[in-house]
Structure 1
Amino acid sequence: MHRWLGTSVAAALLLTACVTINVYFPAAEAKEAAREFVEKVIGDDAKSPATPEAKPDSSVPTTPGGSASLMPVSRRGFDWLSLIGIASAHAQESADINIKTPAIQAIQGRMATRFRNQLQAGFDAGALGLTRDGMIEVRDAGKLALKDRVAITQAVADDNRDRKAVYREIAVANGHPEWEAQIRQTFAQQWIASARGGWWYQDAGGWKQK
């Protein structure tokens, strides 16, 4: 009997030690951070569409007060881990996206200055375009004045370097370097969403004009 109890306690402690916290990528927070960053860079003229309000999941029954009710055991299955005090083996932890670090704000400042002084004219002329992976490309150099081509091409290269750096820096600054690809994709979508009418952007089908 004592041996069985000792084995049970050891098993319970082992299960407790194996509980992991899965930190999910906060897509909504990342989208809002991207919107704030992008609109600060390109100015206030371009406004992205308002994010629709999230609708409650109709599959989860609620009480008259609006809070989620407990589903019967027959529907959700019995949680055997609860017998030994483990609520869930895959708890989730939410996270916010911080874009206010000195390094991130320094990159943002450089990009905003570069956009006003050099890149905006290229976008307005149709010479530059936003790529589907969050970068900038010279899509039609013929629409740039000959005297400006070298400078704007260099500005595009500088901006792309800053873009790569800021996607990486945001992921690292928020403690999740593995989020870099998701941060980059979120920003890629936001650059296009915030683009002004007449600007060119790239999607799976090629170049399109907004």
Structure 2
Amino acid sequence: MRRVLCLELLALGLLAACVTVNVYFPAAEAEQAADRIIDAVTSKPAAQPQESKPQEQKPPAEPSQAPPQSSGLAPAAPRAAAALLAAAARVLDSLVPAAYAQASANVDVSTPQIRAITDSLHQRHAELQKYFASGAIGLTADGLVGVRDQNAVPLAERATVKQLVAEHNRDLAALYAEIARANGHPEWEADIRRIFARRWVERGAQPGWYYQDSSGKWVPKG
């Protein structure tokens, strides 16, 4: 009996040791965070969260009848083994939800650094709007801004446009890196940039503005 108990406890211990925190990239939360920043930069109303449908209430299950208990007391060794196994199972049950809780993550975009970058992008966006509208500049596939047609810019303004685009891109690159860093996952930067690149077009761009498709071709937004 003692040998069986030791083997069972060893199995539970190994299972608990295998509980790892698998941190995934929260794409849905990142998209919502991107929309909030894009709205702030372009001065659009903040996105309203979607209402979740109430879940149907299931009737409570009828309690199952316990089998008749024997009036005799179980031997001490089996009782001790059962108590230890039950305690180990409770510890394991507490570990698994904790691991999943740590695996989930909200994307925080409220740090002072992120707010400062967002304000800078907002102020410059007003200056860039007319160049987006003329097709002189557009949104690139990597979440930045590019000069598409410098001939659409008056000669006297070309140096200014290049400077504005360069400063805007520095802020955008800093924004993506700072969001990843502020949330404790610098490795998320590429995923964050990819989501922003898509949402700048879908949410931030106005009809007629140019953007790069997956092949790098400039196309107007319909």
- CA–CA separation in structure 2 for the residues paired with 1:154 and 1:182: 27
- CA–CA separation in structure 2 for the residues paired with 1:31 and 1:53: 17
- The gaps in structure 1 that reach 5 residues or longer are 56-61, 68-81
Per-residue CA distance 1:45-90 (angstroms, 9 max, x = gap): 9x99x998889xxxxxx9x5279xxxxxxxxxxxxxx994545597
The answer to whether 1:151 aligns with 2:160 is: yes
The answer to whether 1:209 aligns with 2:220 is: yes
Distance 1:139 1:94, change over 3 A: same
What root-mean-square deviation, in Å, do the aligned CA atoms of Structure 1 and Structure 2 show?
Answer: 3.0
- CA–CA separation in structure 1 for the residues paired with 2:212 and 2:51: 27
TM-score by length of 1: 0.77
> Deviation of residue 40 (structure 1)?
1.2
The answer to whether 1:65 aligns with 2:74 is: no
AA at the equivalent of 2:202 = A
Secondary structure of 2:21's counterpart equals strand
- The gaps in structure 2 that reach 5 residues or longer are 60-85
> Deviation of residue 43 (structure 1)?
2.4
Counterpart for residue 172 of structure 2: 163
1:189 to 169, 183, 198: 198
The answer to whether 1:179 aligns with 2:177 is: no
Higher helix share: 2
- CA–CA separation in structure 2 for the residues paired with 1:99 and 1:174: 9
2:143 to 111, 129, 134: 134
- CA–CA separation in structure 2 for the residues paired with 1:52 and 1:135: 29
TM-score by length of 2: 0.73
2:105 to 74, 90, 95: 95
Distance 1:91 1:27, change over 3 A: same
> Deviation of residue 11 (structure 1)?
3.2
Counterpart for residue 31 of structure 2: 31
AA at the equivalent of 2:150 = A
Secondary structure of 2:22's counterpart equals strand
Higher strand share: 1
- How many aligned residue pairs are there? 188
AA at the equivalent of 2:220 = Q
> Deviation of residue 142 (structure 1)?
0.5
> Deviation of residue 6 (structure 1)?
2.6
Counterpart for residue 122 of structure 2: 112
Alignment of 1:48-87 (within 5 A): 65=57, 84-85=89-90, 86-87=92-93
